[in-house]
Structure 1
Protein backbone atom coordinates (compact mmCIF):
# COMPACT_ATOMS: atom_id res chain seq x y z
CA UNK A 1 0.00 0.00 0.00
CA UNK A 2 2.79 2.42 0.91
CA UNK A 3 4.56 1.52 -2.30
CA UNK A 4 1.44 2.37 -4.33
CA UNK A 5 1.00 5.72 -2.56
CA UNK A 6 4.64 6.64 -3.13
CA UNK A 7 4.39 5.71 -6.79
CA UNK A 8 1.19 7.73 -7.14
CA UNK A 9 2.85 10.75 -5.53
CA UNK A 10 5.84 10.50 -7.89
CA UNK A 11 3.50 10.23 -10.87
CA UNK A 12 1.55 13.26 -9.61
CA UNK A 13 4.66 15.42 -9.24
CA UNK A 14 5.93 14.31 -12.64
CA UNK A 15 2.51 15.19 -14.09
CA UNK A 16 2.63 18.68 -12.55
CA UNK A 17 6.08 19.27 -13.99
CA UNK A 18 4.94 18.13 -17.43
CA UNK A 19 1.86 20.37 -17.26
CA UNK A 20 3.95 23.45 -16.43
CA UNK A 21 6.37 22.73 -19.27
CA UNK A 22 3.58 21.99 -21.76
CA UNK A 23 1.72 25.13 -20.69
CA UNK A 24 4.76 27.22 -21.60
CA UNK A 25 5.10 25.45 -24.95
CA UNK A 26 1.44 25.99 -25.84
CA UNK A 27 1.61 29.66 -24.81
CA UNK A 28 4.48 30.18 -27.27
CA UNK A 29 3.04 28.04 -30.07
CA UNK A 30 1.07 29.67 -32.88
CA UNK A 31 -1.49 28.46 -35.43
CA UNK A 32 -1.17 24.80 -36.38
CA UNK A 33 1.69 24.26 -33.95
CA UNK A 34 -0.57 25.27 -31.06
CA UNK A 35 -3.36 22.94 -32.23
CA UNK A 36 -0.90 20.05 -32.52
CA UNK A 37 0.46 20.80 -29.05
CA UNK A 38 -3.03 20.74 -27.53
CA UNK A 39 -3.86 17.42 -29.24
CA UNK A 40 -0.60 16.01 -27.94
CA UNK A 41 -1.54 17.12 -24.44
CA UNK A 42 -4.89 15.36 -24.72
CA UNK A 43 -3.24 12.08 -25.73
CA UNK A 44 -0.66 12.48 -22.98
CA UNK A 45 -3.34 13.07 -20.36
CA UNK A 46 -5.27 9.95 -21.36
CA UNK A 47 -2.08 7.92 -21.14
CA UNK A 48 -1.36 9.48 -17.74
CA UNK A 49 -4.81 8.51 -16.48
CA UNK A 50 -4.33 4.93 -17.64
CA UNK A 51 -0.88 4.71 -16.10
CA UNK A 52 -2.13 6.11 -12.81
CA UNK A 53 -4.96 3.59 -12.75
CA UNK A 54 -2.49 0.77 -13.24
CA UNK A 55 -0.27 2.11 -10.44
CA UNK A 56 -3.26 2.34 -8.11
CA UNK A 57 -4.26 -1.26 -8.81
CA UNK A 58 -3.15 -3.82 -6.23
CA UNK A 59 -0.13 -5.78 -7.47
CA UNK A 60 0.64 -7.94 -4.40
CA UNK A 61 -1.11 -10.85 -2.73
CA UNK A 62 -0.72 -11.94 0.88
CA UNK A 63 -0.50 -15.67 1.76
CA UNK A 64 -0.87 -16.77 5.41
CA UNK A 65 0.38 -20.16 6.49
CA UNK A 66 -0.68 -21.32 9.96
CA UNK A 67 -1.37 -24.57 11.81
CA UNK A 68 -4.01 -22.92 13.90
CA UNK A 69 -7.60 -22.68 12.88
CA UNK A 70 -8.56 -19.21 11.72
CA UNK A 71 -11.95 -17.70 12.28
CA UNK A 72 -12.92 -15.17 9.65
CA UNK A 73 -15.59 -12.59 10.21
CA UNK A 74 -18.32 -12.30 7.58
CA UNK A 75 -17.25 -10.20 4.62
CA UNK A 76 -19.01 -6.86 4.33
CA UNK A 77 -21.09 -6.47 1.21
CA UNK A 78 -19.62 -3.73 -1.01
CA UNK A 79 -21.56 -1.38 -3.22
CA UNK A 80 -21.47 -1.95 -6.97
CA UNK A 81 -19.08 0.96 -7.55
CA UNK A 82 -16.61 -0.57 -5.08
CA UNK A 83 -16.41 -3.92 -6.82
CA UNK A 84 -14.57 -5.14 -9.89
CA UNK A 85 -13.03 -2.61 -12.26
CA UNK A 86 -15.26 0.31 -11.23
CA UNK A 87 -12.78 1.89 -8.76
CA UNK A 88 -10.14 1.98 -11.50
CA UNK A 89 -12.64 3.34 -14.01
CA UNK A 90 -13.70 6.03 -11.53
CA UNK A 91 -10.08 7.02 -10.94
CA UNK A 92 -9.41 7.22 -14.65
CA UNK A 93 -12.51 9.31 -15.35
CA UNK A 94 -11.63 11.69 -12.52
CA UNK A 95 -8.16 12.23 -13.95
CA UNK A 96 -9.48 12.69 -17.47
CA UNK A 97 -12.05 15.28 -16.38
CA UNK A 98 -9.53 17.15 -14.22
CA UNK A 99 -6.92 17.12 -16.98
CA UNK A 100 -9.53 18.14 -19.56
CA UNK A 101 -10.31 21.22 -17.50
CA UNK A 102 -6.58 21.97 -17.27
CA UNK A 103 -6.22 21.68 -21.06
CA UNK A 104 -9.19 24.00 -21.54
CA UNK A 105 -7.65 26.61 -19.27
CA UNK A 106 -4.32 26.35 -21.09
CA UNK A 107 -6.09 26.76 -24.44
CA UNK A 108 -7.98 29.84 -23.27
CA UNK A 109 -4.84 31.44 -21.87
CA UNK A 110 -2.83 30.74 -25.03
CA UNK A 111 -5.68 32.11 -27.19
CA UNK A 112 -5.78 35.32 -25.18
CA UNK A 113 -2.02 35.69 -25.42
CA UNK A 114 -2.11 35.10 -29.18
CA UNK A 115 -4.94 37.60 -29.72
CA UNK A 116 -3.15 40.18 -27.58
CA UNK A 117 -0.02 39.70 -29.69
CA UNK A 118 -2.02 40.17 -32.90
CA UNK A 119 -3.56 43.39 -31.57
CA UNK A 120 -0.15 44.71 -30.57
CA UNK A 121 1.31 43.99 -34.00
CA UNK A 122 -1.70 45.66 -35.64
CA UNK A 123 -1.19 48.76 -33.50
CA UNK A 124 2.51 48.85 -34.39
CA UNK A 125 1.71 48.54 -38.11
CA UNK A 126 -0.90 51.31 -38.01
CA UNK A 127 1.45 53.54 -36.05
CA UNK A 128 4.21 53.00 -38.64
CA UNK A 129 1.70 53.69 -41.42
CA UNK A 130 0.93 57.08 -39.90
CA UNK A 131 4.44 58.08 -38.82
CA UNK A 132 6.40 56.79 -41.80
CA UNK A 133 4.01 57.22 -44.73
CA UNK A 134 0.86 59.34 -44.46
CA UNK A 135 2.00 61.98 -41.95
CA UNK A 136 5.34 62.86 -43.60
CA UNK A 137 3.83 62.63 -47.09
CA UNK A 138 1.01 65.01 -46.20
CA UNK A 139 3.42 67.41 -44.47
CA UNK A 140 5.74 67.51 -47.51
CA UNK A 141 2.82 68.13 -49.88
CA UNK A 142 1.54 71.00 -47.72
CA UNK A 143 4.99 72.57 -47.39
CA UNK A 144 5.58 72.45 -51.14
CA UNK A 145 2.17 73.96 -51.82
CA UNK A 146 2.80 76.80 -49.37
CA UNK A 147 6.21 77.54 -50.86
CA UNK A 148 4.85 77.45 -54.40
CA UNK A 149 1.83 79.65 -53.61
CA UNK A 150 3.83 82.26 -51.70
CA UNK A 151 7.03 82.42 -53.76
CA UNK A 152 6.25 80.71 -57.06
CA UNK A 153 5.74 82.41 -60.45
CA UNK A 154 2.06 83.04 -59.76
CA UNK A 155 3.04 85.33 -56.87
CA UNK A 156 5.49 87.50 -58.86
CA UNK A 157 4.72 91.26 -58.95
CA UNK A 158 4.01 92.81 -62.33
CA UNK A 159 6.58 95.56 -62.10
CA UNK A 160 10.04 94.72 -63.40
CA UNK A 161 12.00 95.34 -60.20
CA UNK A 162 9.61 93.39 -58.05
CA UNK A 163 9.47 90.59 -60.58
CA UNK A 164 13.26 90.31 -60.67
CA UNK A 165 13.52 90.17 -56.87
CA UNK A 166 10.74 87.61 -56.63
CA UNK A 167 12.45 85.46 -59.27
CA UNK A 168 15.64 85.41 -57.18
CA UNK A 169 13.67 84.35 -54.12
CA UNK A 170 11.89 81.66 -56.11
CA UNK A 171 15.20 80.35 -57.39
CA UNK A 172 16.26 79.63 -53.79
CA UNK A 173 12.96 78.40 -52.41
CA UNK A 174 12.59 76.05 -55.36
CA UNK A 175 15.58 74.15 -54.02
CA UNK A 176 13.55 73.28 -50.94
CA UNK A 177 10.74 71.97 -53.14
CA UNK A 178 13.23 69.78 -55.00
CA UNK A 179 14.56 68.45 -51.69
CA UNK A 180 11.05 67.72 -50.50
CA UNK A 181 10.27 66.01 -53.81
CA UNK A 182 13.24 63.71 -53.28
CA UNK A 183 11.83 62.75 -49.87
CA UNK A 184 8.39 62.17 -51.39
CA UNK A 185 9.93 59.89 -54.01
CA UNK A 186 11.81 57.95 -51.30
CA UNK A 187 8.61 57.44 -49.31
CA UNK A 188 6.71 56.21 -52.37
CA UNK A 189 9.52 53.82 -53.29
CA UNK A 190 10.29 52.35 -49.87
CA UNK A 191 7.18 52.66 -47.66
CA UNK A 192 4.34 51.32 -49.79
CA UNK A 193 4.05 48.26 -47.52
CA UNK A 194 2.49 50.70 -45.01
CA UNK A 195 -0.41 51.65 -47.28
CA UNK A 196 -3.90 51.51 -45.84
CA UNK A 197 -5.80 48.32 -46.74
CA UNK A 198 -8.00 50.00 -49.37
CA UNK A 199 -5.14 52.15 -50.72
CA UNK A 200 -2.91 51.25 -53.67
CA UNK A 201 0.29 52.44 -55.30
CA UNK A 202 -1.60 53.26 -58.50
CA UNK A 203 -3.15 56.26 -56.73
CA UNK A 204 0.35 57.77 -56.36
CA UNK A 205 1.61 57.03 -59.86
CA UNK A 206 1.06 60.53 -61.22
CA UNK A 207 2.65 62.11 -58.15
CA UNK A 208 5.70 59.90 -58.52
CA UNK A 209 6.04 60.81 -62.18
CA UNK A 210 5.56 64.52 -61.40
CA UNK A 211 8.34 64.72 -58.79
CA UNK A 212 10.70 62.84 -61.11
CA UNK A 213 9.98 65.04 -64.13
CA UNK A 214 9.93 68.30 -62.17
CA UNK A 215 13.63 67.94 -61.41
CA UNK A 216 14.38 67.15 -65.04
CA UNK A 217 12.51 70.20 -66.30
CA UNK A 218 14.57 72.46 -64.04
CA UNK A 219 17.53 71.61 -66.24
CA UNK A 220 15.73 71.48 -69.58
CA UNK A 221 12.96 74.00 -70.15
CA UNK A 222 10.28 72.58 -72.42
CA UNK A 223 6.54 72.71 -72.97
CA UNK A 224 6.37 68.99 -72.28
CA UNK A 225 6.22 69.87 -68.58
CA UNK A 226 2.51 70.66 -69.05
CA UNK A 227 1.90 66.92 -69.35
CA UNK A 228 3.28 66.31 -65.86
CA UNK A 229 1.61 68.96 -63.71
CA UNK A 230 1.11 68.30 -60.03
CA UNK A 231 -1.99 66.08 -59.50
CA UNK A 232 -4.36 68.26 -57.49
CA UNK A 233 -6.45 65.30 -56.33
CA UNK A 234 -3.56 63.65 -54.48
CA UNK A 235 -3.85 65.66 -51.27
CA UNK A 236 -7.55 64.82 -50.65
CA UNK A 237 -6.68 61.18 -51.29
CA UNK A 238 -3.84 61.21 -48.74
CA UNK A 239 -6.04 62.97 -46.18
CA UNK A 240 -8.83 60.41 -46.66
CA UNK A 241 -6.54 57.39 -46.26
CA UNK A 242 -4.77 58.97 -43.29
CA UNK A 243 -8.11 59.44 -41.53
CA UNK A 244 -8.98 55.77 -42.17
CA UNK A 245 -5.68 54.62 -40.67
CA UNK A 246 -6.09 56.97 -37.72
CA UNK A 247 -9.58 55.64 -37.02
CA UNK A 248 -8.34 52.04 -37.16
CA UNK A 249 -5.47 52.96 -34.83
CA UNK A 250 -7.74 54.48 -32.19
CA UNK A 251 -10.07 51.49 -32.43
CA UNK A 252 -7.17 49.07 -31.92
CA UNK A 253 -5.91 51.10 -28.96
CA UNK A 254 -9.40 50.96 -27.40
CA UNK A 255 -9.56 47.19 -27.83
CA UNK A 256 -6.20 46.76 -26.17
CA UNK A 257 -7.18 48.92 -23.20
Structure 2
Protein backbone atom coordinates (compact mmCIF):
# COMPACT_ATOMS: atom_id res chain seq x y z
CA UNK A 1 0.00 0.00 0.00
CA UNK A 2 1.28 3.25 -1.06
CA UNK A 3 0.47 6.47 0.79
CA UNK A 4 -0.40 9.47 -1.19
CA UNK A 5 2.15 12.21 -0.93
CA UNK A 6 -0.45 14.79 0.07
CA UNK A 7 -1.79 12.50 2.78
CA UNK A 8 1.73 11.85 4.06
CA UNK A 9 2.35 15.57 4.23
CA UNK A 10 -0.94 16.06 6.06
CA UNK A 11 -0.14 13.30 8.58
CA UNK A 12 3.37 14.73 9.11
CA UNK A 13 1.88 18.19 9.65
CA UNK A 14 -0.70 16.82 12.12
CA UNK A 15 2.01 14.90 14.05
CA UNK A 16 4.23 18.00 14.09
CA UNK A 17 1.30 20.14 15.28
CA UNK A 18 0.43 17.64 18.03
CA UNK A 19 4.09 17.47 19.08
CA UNK A 20 4.31 21.29 19.08
CA UNK A 21 1.08 21.51 21.11
CA UNK A 22 2.34 18.97 23.66
CA UNK A 23 5.68 20.80 23.89
CA UNK A 24 3.91 24.15 24.35
CA UNK A 25 1.62 22.77 27.08
CA UNK A 26 4.53 21.16 28.92
CA UNK A 27 6.63 24.30 28.55
CA UNK A 28 3.74 26.39 29.90
CA UNK A 29 3.32 24.11 32.90
CA UNK A 30 7.04 24.22 33.56
CA UNK A 31 7.05 28.01 33.30
CA UNK A 32 4.09 28.28 35.70
CA UNK A 33 5.84 25.97 38.17
CA UNK A 34 9.02 28.05 37.91
CA UNK A 35 7.05 31.27 38.39
CA UNK A 36 5.24 29.78 41.37
CA UNK A 37 8.53 28.63 42.88
CA UNK A 38 10.15 32.02 42.23
CA UNK A 39 7.14 33.76 43.77
CA UNK A 40 7.32 31.51 46.84
CA UNK A 41 11.04 32.17 47.22
CA UNK A 42 10.54 35.88 46.65
CA UNK A 43 7.70 35.99 49.19
CA UNK A 44 9.86 34.09 51.66
CA UNK A 45 12.71 36.56 51.13
CA UNK A 46 10.29 39.48 51.47
CA UNK A 47 8.93 38.08 54.73
CA UNK A 48 12.45 37.54 56.08
CA UNK A 49 13.41 41.05 54.99
CA UNK A 50 10.34 42.52 56.66
CA UNK A 51 11.10 40.54 59.81
CA UNK A 52 14.69 41.83 59.87
CA UNK A 53 13.48 45.40 59.29
CA UNK A 54 10.89 45.10 62.08
CA UNK A 55 13.44 43.74 64.55
CA UNK A 56 15.95 46.42 63.55
CA UNK A 57 13.29 49.10 64.09
CA UNK A 58 12.29 47.60 67.45
CA UNK A 59 15.91 47.64 68.59
CA UNK A 60 16.97 51.03 67.23
CA UNK A 61 13.77 53.00 67.89
CA UNK A 62 12.56 51.39 71.11
CA UNK A 63 14.57 48.88 73.11
CA UNK A 64 18.15 50.14 72.79
CA UNK A 65 17.32 53.76 73.72
CA UNK A 66 15.13 52.57 76.62
CA UNK A 67 17.82 50.27 77.99
CA UNK A 68 20.44 53.01 77.73
CA UNK A 69 18.40 55.73 79.44
CA UNK A 70 16.94 53.46 82.12
CA UNK A 71 20.38 51.96 82.86
CA UNK A 72 21.90 55.40 83.39
CA UNK A 73 19.07 56.31 85.77
CA UNK A 74 19.43 53.01 87.62
CA UNK A 75 23.18 53.55 87.98
CA UNK A 76 22.69 57.03 89.45
CA UNK A 77 19.94 55.79 91.78
CA UNK A 78 22.04 52.88 93.03
CA UNK A 79 25.13 55.05 93.56
CA UNK A 80 23.66 58.07 95.32
CA UNK A 81 19.87 57.72 95.50
CA UNK A 82 18.00 58.02 98.81
CA UNK A 83 18.20 54.27 99.52
CA UNK A 84 21.73 53.74 98.18
CA UNK A 85 24.55 52.21 100.20
CA UNK A 86 26.39 55.54 99.89
CA UNK A 87 23.58 57.36 101.67
CA UNK A 88 23.00 54.64 104.28
CA UNK A 89 26.67 54.16 105.15
CA UNK A 90 27.18 57.70 106.39
CA UNK A 91 30.65 57.80 104.80
CA UNK A 92 29.80 61.06 103.07
CA UNK A 93 28.13 64.21 104.28
CA UNK A 94 24.40 63.50 103.97
CA UNK A 95 23.52 67.07 102.99
CA UNK A 96 26.10 67.02 100.19
CA UNK A 97 24.98 63.65 98.82
CA UNK A 98 21.34 64.76 99.01
CA UNK A 99 22.24 67.91 97.05
CA UNK A 100 24.18 65.89 94.45
CA UNK A 101 21.19 63.54 94.18
CA UNK A 102 18.78 66.47 93.64
CA UNK A 103 21.06 67.98 90.99
CA UNK A 104 21.45 64.65 89.18
CA UNK A 105 17.68 64.18 89.28
CA UNK A 106 17.15 67.62 87.77
CA UNK A 107 19.84 67.36 85.08
CA UNK A 108 19.89 63.64 84.23
CA UNK A 109 17.18 61.43 85.76
CA UNK A 110 14.12 63.57 84.98
CA UNK A 111 15.26 64.45 81.42
CA UNK A 112 15.99 60.75 80.81
CA UNK A 113 12.54 59.87 82.16
CA UNK A 114 10.97 62.42 79.80
CA UNK A 115 12.82 60.89 76.85
CA UNK A 116 11.79 57.38 77.91
CA UNK A 117 8.15 58.54 78.12
CA UNK A 118 8.38 60.08 74.65
CA UNK A 119 9.85 56.87 73.22
CA UNK A 120 7.16 54.72 74.84
CA UNK A 121 4.32 57.01 73.77
CA UNK A 122 5.59 57.29 70.19
CA UNK A 123 6.71 53.68 69.68
CA UNK A 124 4.61 51.44 71.94
CA UNK A 125 3.58 49.63 68.74
CA UNK A 126 7.15 48.29 68.58
CA UNK A 127 6.82 46.40 71.86
CA UNK A 128 7.84 42.75 71.48
CA UNK A 129 5.24 41.28 73.82
CA UNK A 130 2.00 43.23 74.22
CA UNK A 131 1.19 41.35 77.41
CA UNK A 132 3.97 43.49 78.95
CA UNK A 133 2.26 46.83 78.13
CA UNK A 134 1.13 47.39 81.72
CA UNK A 135 4.75 47.72 82.88
CA UNK A 136 5.32 50.46 80.32
CA UNK A 137 2.17 52.29 81.39
CA UNK A 138 3.21 51.91 85.04
CA UNK A 139 6.54 53.49 84.16
CA UNK A 140 4.78 56.42 82.45
CA UNK A 141 2.72 56.99 85.59
CA UNK A 142 5.85 56.79 87.75
CA UNK A 143 7.83 59.19 85.56
CA UNK A 144 5.11 61.84 85.37
CA UNK A 145 4.44 61.60 89.11
CA UNK A 146 8.18 61.82 89.79
CA UNK A 147 8.30 65.17 87.99
CA UNK A 148 5.55 66.50 90.26
CA UNK A 149 7.23 65.16 93.38
CA UNK A 150 10.50 66.89 92.44
CA UNK A 151 8.86 70.21 93.21
CA UNK A 152 7.45 69.15 96.58
CA UNK A 153 7.88 65.95 98.54
CA UNK A 154 4.70 64.10 99.41
CA UNK A 155 4.21 60.81 101.20
CA UNK A 156 1.87 59.80 98.38
CA UNK A 157 4.96 59.29 96.19
CA UNK A 158 5.00 55.74 97.60
CA UNK A 159 2.01 55.08 95.30
CA UNK A 160 4.10 55.86 92.21
CA UNK A 161 7.37 53.99 92.68
CA UNK A 162 9.45 52.64 89.82
CA UNK A 163 7.79 49.43 88.54
CA UNK A 164 9.49 46.34 89.98
CA UNK A 165 11.56 44.48 87.42
CA UNK A 166 10.82 46.96 84.63
CA UNK A 167 14.41 47.50 83.46
CA UNK A 168 15.15 43.78 83.70
CA UNK A 169 12.06 43.00 81.62
CA UNK A 170 13.05 45.54 78.95
CA UNK A 171 16.59 44.07 78.85
CA UNK A 172 15.22 40.52 78.48
CA UNK A 173 12.93 41.56 75.62
CA UNK A 174 15.78 43.44 73.95
CA UNK A 175 18.14 40.47 74.32
CA UNK A 176 15.54 38.13 72.79
CA UNK A 177 15.23 40.47 69.80
CA UNK A 178 19.02 40.67 69.44
CA UNK A 179 19.20 36.87 69.48
CA UNK A 180 16.46 36.64 66.85
CA UNK A 181 18.20 39.30 64.75
CA UNK A 182 21.51 37.45 64.99
CA UNK A 183 19.88 34.14 63.99
CA UNK A 184 18.33 35.84 60.97
CA UNK A 185 21.80 36.93 59.88
CA UNK A 186 23.44 33.68 60.96
CA UNK A 187 25.43 35.33 63.75
CA UNK A 188 25.93 32.95 66.67
CA UNK A 189 29.16 34.24 68.12
CA UNK A 190 29.16 35.59 71.62
CA UNK A 191 30.46 39.07 72.13
CA UNK A 192 33.60 39.50 74.21
CA UNK A 193 31.62 40.68 77.26
CA UNK A 194 29.52 37.47 77.13
CA UNK A 195 32.52 35.15 77.44
CA UNK A 196 32.57 33.11 80.66
CA UNK A 197 35.57 35.04 81.95
CA UNK A 198 33.55 38.28 82.03
CA UNK A 199 30.25 36.87 83.30
CA UNK A 200 31.46 35.51 86.63
Which of the five TM-score ranges fits, normalised by the shorter chain? 0.7 to 0.9
**Which residue of the other structure, out of 172, 189, 198, is the alignment partner of 1:240?**
172
Deviation at 1:208, TM superposition (A): 1.3
* TM-score, normalised with respect to structure 1: 0.62
2:84 is the counterpart of 1:152: no
Asked whether the 8 Å contact 2:117–2:143 carries over to 1, the reply is: yes
Match of 2:102?
Answer: 171
Asked whether the 8 Å contact 1:151–1:166 carries over to 2, the reply is: yes
* TM-score, normalised with respect to structure 2: 0.78
Which 4+ runs in 1 deviate beyond 6 A? none
2:160 is the counterpart of 1:228: yes
Distance 2:22 2:115 in 1: 68
Deviation at 1:105, TM superposition (A): 1.6
Match of 2:190?
Answer: none
Asked whether the 8 Å contact 2:113–2:143 carries over to 1, the reply is: yes
Range with bigger deviation, 176-185 or 161-170: 161-170
RMSD, matched Cα: 2.8
Unaligned runs of 5+ in 2: 188-200
Could you say which structure has the larger radius of gyration?
1
Deviation at 1:245, TM superposition (A): 1.2
Distance 1:200 1:149 in 2: 25
Asked whether the 8 Å contact 1:157–1:166 carries over to 2, the reply is: no
Secondary structure of the equivalent of 1:125? Answer: helix
